[in-house]
Structure 1
Amino acid sequence: MDLSGTVALVTGGNGGLGQRICHALAREGAHVAVVYARSREQAEGVAGELASQYQVNARAFGCDISDGADVERLVGEVIKAFGRLDVLVNDAAYNIAIPFGDLDALTPEVWEKIMAINLTGPMRLIKAVAPVMKAQGQGRIVNIASVAGLSPTGSSIAFAVSKAGLIHLTRCMAVALAPETLVNCVAPGLLDGTRATANLRAEHVERAASSSILKKPADKDDCADMVVAMCRTETMTGQTVVIDSGRIFH
């Protein structure tokens, strides 16, 4: 799909990886809806950068993706503002670092919040954009998961399970939305300069980086470029690509 003139909605677009994804899409000529949960000023700053650097339309939109009504409102506002919607990138995520063995700390409340944002939120967004993309005759959806969804690792059981669910949701939605809409997934490893990494214990960060065969964190721009590739493809769907400096092989 030629991205020039398309419209992309990126949740978590103000985050460390989300900003790189927004820039990568705008560089290809896509107009961008930068979606944030709380940091309005930061998201507006990202939108301003996109508009000035790439001469595209870009706007910030607030949304609680765990709220079904708010998701429907968001999609309606984006379509009203841009006239169409071609790309959805589900990058927003939430986590609390809890050692796997500390089951007492894995409370139902923690579990439910992580699942609501990391798995149910993307499902709500996909359902909301699906009829729009079908009517347009084209669409691309890219989910941002994690290597924790492919191996029992990561900063919490709830996070790992939510990302495993997102990877399988990718496969199922690829079947459900074909042939008009292609659905794929990027599974990053440890990334520098993100809120998720900032919340990890120092020993966890060091262990994750040193255990990769390249001995360094994954690159955010590599992940963003893969998102672009998944939006441009005409024949790949239901796939998950790992970018983690060589830790998980699947």
Structure 2
Amino acid sequence: MELRGTVALVTGGNGGLGQRICHALAREGVHIAVMYAKSRDQAESVARELASSYQINAAAFACDIADGAAVDRLVGDVKAHFGRLDILVNDAAYNIAIPFPDLDGLTQEVWDKIMAVNLTGPMRLMKAVAPIMKAQGRGRIVNIASVAGLGPTGSSIAYAVSKAGLIHLTRCMAVAMAPETIVNCIAPGLLEGTRATSNLRAEHIERSAAASLLKKPADKDDCADMVVTMCRTETMTGQTIVIDSGRVFH
């Protein structure tokens, strides 16, 4: 798909990886809707920087993606502001470090919040944009999962299961939304400088990097560049690409 002049909604667009994704798409001439949950000033600052750096249209939008009505309003507001919606990047996520054996620590409240943000939220967003992309005759969706979704690893059982669900949801939505809309997924390994990583213990971060073949964390720009590739593609759908410095092979 030719990207210049298209419109992308990036959830969590003011986060560490989200900002890199916004910049990578804006460099290609994509107009950007920066979705945030709480950090309004930061999101608006990101939007201003994108607009001035790349001469594109960018704006910040607030949304709690665990709220179905709020998701519908968000998609409507983005469509009204930009006139169209071509790309959805589901990057917003929540996690909290709970060792797997600590089943008491994995409370129902924690489980429900992680599932609501990491799995049900992206599902709601994909359903909301589906009719718009179908009517336009094209669309691209990129979900940001995790290598924790490919094996029993990660910050908590709930986080791992939510990301495994997102990977399979990608496959299912690729079937449901074809042929107009292409749906793919990226599964990063450890990423430094993100909100998700800030919730992890230092020893977990060190252990993850040391266990990779390349002995370093995954690169946020590599992930952002893969988002661009997945938005350009005409023949890849339902796929998950791992970017983790060589830890998980699937």
Assess same fold via TM > 0.5.
yes
**1:4-54, CA deviations, whole angstroms, 9 ceiling, x for partnerless residues?**
000000000000000000000000000000000000000001000100000
- Secondary structure at 2:34 match in 1: strand
Which residue matches 1:193?
Answer: 193
The 5 A counterparts of 1:203-218 are 203-218=203-218
**Consecutive unaligned residues in structure 2, runs of 5 or more:** none
- Secondary structure at 2:237 match in 1: coil
Give the residue type in structure 2 aligned to 1:14. N
Which residue matches 1:24?
Answer: 24
Percent of pairs identical after alignment? 82
Distance 1:195 1:69 in 2: 25
- Secondary structure at 1:35 match in 2: strand
Question: Displacement of 1:234 after TM fit?
Answer: 0.1
Give the residue type in structure 2 aligned to 1:8. A
Which residue matches 1:100?
Answer: 100
- Secondary structure at 1:155 match in 2: coil
The Cα RMSD (Å) is 0.3
**1:166-186, CA deviations, whole angstroms, 9 ceiling, x for partnerless residues?**
000000000000000000000
Distance 2:32 2:54 in 1: 11
- Secondary structure at 1:140 match in 2: strand
Distance 2:116 2:192 in 1: 25
Give the residue type in structure 1 aligned to 2:210. S
Structure 1 stretches of 4+ with a deviation exceeding 2 A read: none
Distance 2:180 2:217 in 1: 35
Distance 1:106 1:193 in 2: 25
**1:122-142, CA deviations, whole angstroms, 9 ceiling, x for partnerless residues?**
000000000000000000000
The 5 A counterparts of 1:142-221 are 142-221=142-221
Question: Displacement of 1:113 after TM fit?
Answer: 0.3
Q: Does 1:42 align with 2:42?
A: yes
Distance 2:99 2:158 in 1: 11
Give the residue type in structure 1 aligned to 2:186. V
Q: Does 1:11 align with 2:33?
A: no
Which residue matches 2:229?
Answer: 229
Question: Displacement of 1:198 after TM fit?
Answer: 1.1
**Consecutive unaligned residues in structure 1, runs of 5 or more:** none
Q: How many residues align?
A: 250
- Secondary structure at 1:154 match in 2: coil
Task: Give me the TM-score of the superposition, normalised by structure 1.
Answer: 1.00
Distance 1:70 1:163 in 2: 22
- Secondary structure at 1:183 match in 2: strand
- Secondary structure at 2:183 match in 1: strand
Distance 1:198 1:111 in 2: 19
Distance 1:13 1:60 in 2: 9
Give the residue type in structure 2 aligned to 1:99. P
Question: Displacement of 1:199 after TM fit?
Answer: 1.0
